[in-house]
Amino acid sequence: MDDTLMIRSLLIATGLLAAVPALAQNGADAARDPRKTEVWTPVPAVVATPVGKAPSDAIVLFDGKDVSAWESEQGGRVPWKVADGAMTVVPGSKGIRTRQRFCDVQLHVEWRTPTETKGFDGQNRGNSGIFLQELYELQVLDSYNNPTYANGQAGSIYKQAMPRVNASRAPGQWQVYDIIWKAPRFSQGGGLTSPARITVLHNGVLVQDDTVLAGRTEYIGAPSYAPHACAPLYLQEHDSKVSYRNIWVREL
């Protein structure tokens, strides 16, 4: 090989070697490009959230006056008293349910137990309940300085899961439940494929954290599942003048 050819070969080799680090650097820079992890579509829907009101995409079930979203458990008119922006249980009148059926939901409910507590204790003080799909009860109870079984106090999944803490306010004060409900799923043959799950914040405090339910609520005996479809929300009448207001739901 003559000297000229050798020099050219060396220059070419040197150039290639010099290019390798540059190419590697370019590859590293591309990997660090923040745009590679940006997702622009689909664009989430805009939901207005006015202070003290339901989100713009919510279904308002009770606004303080209108009970047209509800019916008695027998299918007739709502038998509870509506006054001063709330509806209050009339003892002995039976519960009420929504006309619309729901599966997975985000549910907001404000409730209040009676101020008068003399002569009432345990499960007899401010008792009601919120039933998801008419079958699964989130307990409503005056649990402020009122001992009872832990899986039956306010914030419990009745007789299944006690609340993580007791976040109850004094009787006569308005309280808030914010609920995320995941309905159970069943196969075409009726078998359970996914159990119900619930998350609950009581007065802003987490009391049920993605709790798995063992089945429908039972007063006596163990809970179990039977196949069902979407179903109404149900508010229980349990001989106490419990009041409700500002109820809304978002289908998930």
Bigger pLDDT: 224 vs 9: 224
Question: In terms of domains, do 185 and 141 share one?
Answer: yes
pLDDT recorded at residue 29: 76
Instruction: State residue 222 phi and psi, 5-degree precision.
Output: -80, 145
Question: In terms of domains, do 164 and 214 share one?
Answer: yes
pLDDT recorded at residue 11: 44
pTM of this prediction? 0.88
Which CATH number characterizes residue 191's domain?
2.60.120.560
Residue 16 predicted with pLDDT over 70: no
pLDDT digits (tens, 9 = 90+) for 110-141: 999 999 999 999 999 999 999 999 999 999 99
Residue closest to 208 by CA, chosen among 189, 169, 230, 182:
182
pLDDT digits (tens, 9 = 90+) for 67-107: 999 999 999 999 999 999 999 999 999 999 999 999 999 99
> What's the number of domains the chain is made of?
2
Domain that holds residue 14: 3-37
In angstroms, rounded to a whole number, what is the distance separating the alpha carbons of residues 17 and 14?
5
Whether 52 maps to a domain, the answer reads no
Average pLDDT, the chain: 93
Question: In terms of domains, do 85 and 205 share one?
Answer: yes
What's the pLDDT band for 31 if we cut at 50, 70, 90? confident
In angstroms, rounded to a whole number, what is the distance separating the alpha carbons of residues 251 and 100?
11
What's the pLDDT band for 63 if we cut at 50, 70, 90? very high
pLDDT digits (tens, 9 = 90+) for 177-228: 999 999 999 999 999 999 999 999 999 999 999 999 999 999 999 999 999 9
